[in-house]
Amino acid sequence: MLSWPDGGRRLIGTDGLVVDVEPGLYGVDARTMAAVDAAVPSSVVVPLPPRERTPAPEPAPEASGAPRVGSSEPAATTRRTGLQTAALVVSVLSCAVFGFLALAVSVFGGDEPDTGVGKWVAIAGFM
């Protein structure tokens, strides 16, 4: 963990995952920061000198649909268009039909001589 005197922390996992904790930027309270500090062994803490500038807040992109951290506003929902809904319905139906036909071939045996085209048409029609 990299630790700055202004309260900023950078946690670096053994897998290389990095998490920045900025109390002023994300609204992290002192009790939570104390819990973070207590969870990290002191042998892996690297105290750093004061930074020249504190990280400035960056506005979250509005198009992402994700709520900003510390915001009480709900996330904006993304709606599907009519064309996307139609494509989804066609995809699901075709997957269901082909899945059923694949199951029918594997269960009923498509190589049996008495299973003709008429029976497969009847199965597909029933579906």
> What's the CA gap between 123 and 100, in Å, rounded?
9
Q: Domain of residue 15: give its range.
A: 2-51
**Would 67 be classed as within a structural domain?**
no
Residue 74 has pLDDT above 80, yes or no: no
**Residue 32 gets which letter from DSSP?**
H
pTM of the complete model = 0.43
**Would 56 be classed as within a structural domain?**
no
- Position 94 scores a pLDDT of 92
Residue identified by tokens 């048409």 is 121
Summarised one tens digit per residue, pLDDT across range 106-117 is: 776 666 667 666
Structural domains counted in the chain: 2
| 88-94 long-range contacts, CB within 8 A, separation 24+ | none
